[in-house]
Chains A and B, each alone.
Chain A
Amino acid sequence: MATPTLEKEDAKPEAGFADSPYITVTFRIRRFNPEVSADAVWEDFQMEIDPKERVLDGLHKIKWEQDGTLTFRRSCAHGICGSDAMRINGKNRLACKTLIKDINPSKPITVEPIKGLTVLKDLVVDMDPFFQAYRDVMPFLVTTGNEPTRERLQSAEDRERFDDTTKCILCAACTSSCPVFWNDGQYFGPAAIVNAHRFIFDSRDEAGEQRLEILNDKDGVWRCRTTFNCTDACPRGIEVTKAIQEVKRALITRRF
């Protein structure tokens, strides 16, 4: 187990035992190209692929070997950059963190762009509204007074308070899984609230009050219906709905 490369070399010459690790998988991809048609259509691609590969590897195989016009975003391909969030088999996931064997490859694997954002081409969506909501909650440290000559110290407990929400990679999987956001893009969305939470509960930050005020408004946290879609969708395992509820609680306890 410790040397997977060795194992593979062993397995290859032994024909007949396990003929090949490859299985035939169908990718059913939602294609949209405004330069060709105004409608999005499903297109099927078949390939031989190792089920231990990721969905992203399948998309690469299609783009590199079958249809070069397939368009999707990916940068690091290791679940950190947050570029390749897409709707795979009806659930928002990162294509680079989803193994084919985990999503029932005996049926066609559907791949769609994330919902609630303008589709530009194939799986690429316009992320501007998403980042606008992010900007609007002031996702940066705000302090008053002179800058200290040393680092701003913080106790381990104070850091623990917002540890969960520091993990966000801004992939938009949560926001684009939110039914309120699908119907009304004016809602800040889970990702923006998570990143506000990260600073609201930071003991070093002094603009928590302002951020709470922003999220107290018409399109803020009160539009959350606690459907937990965001928590299910988060590829980083952030308890998104819990973070939203904590912001709600902070708003209420602040007033009364």
Chain B
Amino acid sequence: MSSDTTLDKSGTSGVGPVEGARLYDVDNPAPVIEPPRKRTTKTPRSTRGNFEMAAWLFMRLSGVVLVVLVLGHLLIQLVLDGGVSKIGFAFVAGRWASPFWQVWDLLMLWLAMLHGANGLRTVINDYAERPNTRLWLKGLLYTATVFTILLGTLVIFTFDPNIR
């Protein structure tokens, strides 16, 4: 301990940290180790109504529907009737001639995209620590989601089997 105190004095001499000298002491403590996004002392105000509950419910309900839609989709596309080799422009055109498959694919597109986007939203909320990072990541996510949903919907509704 005695050698420690002598080192302390040389550390505060103004020459700068000497090798082996301590940077911190009782009067000049180091910053404490803070966790990310510490709770604010103010009681949070109610903000978004039932959005979080709706999102939580949507995840469960869309998940159940997607199990049927996606497994059915995979079965038809990859297993039944010759498997992957049958898929081509003619196959897609043939399926989308029926409103049933149009609705199936449209529903699958919307539910899967919103389900995935909401899942990623919670991942970003959980793991992106800085508010700016969260803002940008979510902005990117929402842009990509809206773009994909709109493009997919447009294709399903305006699909022309005679395109050349």
13 further contact pairs, Cβ within 8 A, besides A185-B39, A217-B46: A35-B24, A36-B22, A38-B23, A116-B35, A183-B37, A183-B126, A184-B36, A185-B37, A186-B40, A214-B44, A218-B47, A219-B44, A222-B52
Q: Mark A229-256, 1 if CB is under 8 A from B, else 0.
A: 0000000000000000000100110010
Chain B stretch 117-150: residues in CB contact (< 8 A) with chain A? 122, 125-127, 129
Kindly state the separation between the CA atoms of A180 and B31 in the bound complex, as whole angstroms: 24
Q: Does A201 contact B (CB under 8 A)?
A: no
In angstroms, Cα B56 to Cα A180, docked, is 16
How far apart sit A179 and B126, CA to CA, in the bound complex (Å)? 9
Residues of A171-220 at the interface with B, using a CB-CB cut-off of 8 Å, are 179-180, 182-186, 213-214, 216-220
B-binding residues in A (CB < 8 A): 32, 34-38, 40, 115-120, 126, 128-130, 132-133, 135-136, 179-180, 182-186, 213-214, 216-220, 222-223, 225, 248, 251-252, 255
13 A/B residue pairs, CB under 8 Å, sorted by A: A34-B29, A34-B30, A35-B24, A37-B23, A118-B34, A118-B35, A183-B126, A185-B35, A185-B36, A218-B47, A219-B44, A222-B55, A251-B53
Q: Report yes or no: A218 in contact with B52, Cβ–Cβ below 8 A.
A: yes
Chain A residues whose CB sits within 8 angstroms of the CB of B48 once the complex forms: 217-218
Interface residues on B, range: 20 to 34
* B56 and chain A: residue at smallest CB distance: A222
- Beyond A37-B30, A115-B35, A183-B36, whether A213 also contacts B46 by CB under 8 A is yes
The answer, yes or no, to whether B81 is at the interface (CB within 8 Å) is no
**Residues of chain A lying within 8 A (CB to CB) of residue B97:** none
B164 interfacial contact with A, CB 8 Å: no
Interchain CB contact under 8 A, A180 and B126: yes
Residues of B within 8 A of A (CB): 22-26, 29-41, 43-44, 46-48, 50, 52-53, 55-57, 122, 125-127, 129
Partner of B32, one of A119, A128, A136, A219: A119
Q: Are A252 and B35 in contact (CB under 8 A)?
A: no
Q: Are A214 and B35 in contact (CB under 8 A)?
A: no
B141 vs chain A, min Cβ distance (A): 17
CB proximity of B35 to chain A, nearest CB, Å: 5
**B contact patch SS:** loop
| Known contacts A216-B53, A219-B44, A222-B55: A37-B24 contact under CB 8 Å | yes
Q: Which residue of A lies closest to B46 (CB)?
A: A217
Nearest opposing residue in chain B for A184, CB measure: B37
CB distance from B119 to the nearest CB of A (A): 11
Task: Give every chain B residue within 8 A of A214 (Cβ-Cβ).
Answer: 44, 46
Q: A225 vs B119: C-alpha distance in the bound complex, in angstroms?
A: 11
Bound-state CA distance A5–B66 (Å) is: 65
A128 touches B41 (CB 8 A): yes
- CB of A35, distance to nearest CB on chain B (Å): 5
Cβ contact within 8 Å between A216 and B22? no
Contacts of B129 in A (CB 8 A): 183-184
Contact present for A136 and B35 (CB under 8 Å): no
Chain B residues contacting A179 (CB-CB under 8 Å) are: 126
Chain B residues closer than 8 Å to A255, beta-carbon distance = 50, 53
Question: Which residues of chain B have C-beta atoms less than 8 A from A135's C-beta?
Answer: 43
The answer to whether A38 and B31 touch across the interface, beta carbons within 8 angstroms, is yes
Contact among A36, A117, A184, A252 with B125 in the assembled complex (CB-CB below 8 Å): A184
Whether the Cβ atoms of A36 and B24 lie closer than 8 Å is yes
A35-B25, A216-B53, A218-B48 known; A119+B33 contact, CB < 8 A: yes
Once the chains bind, are B53 and A252 in contact (CB under 8 Å)? yes
Whether B57 pairs with A252 at a CB distance below 8 angstroms is: yes
Residues of B within 8 A of A213 (CB): 46
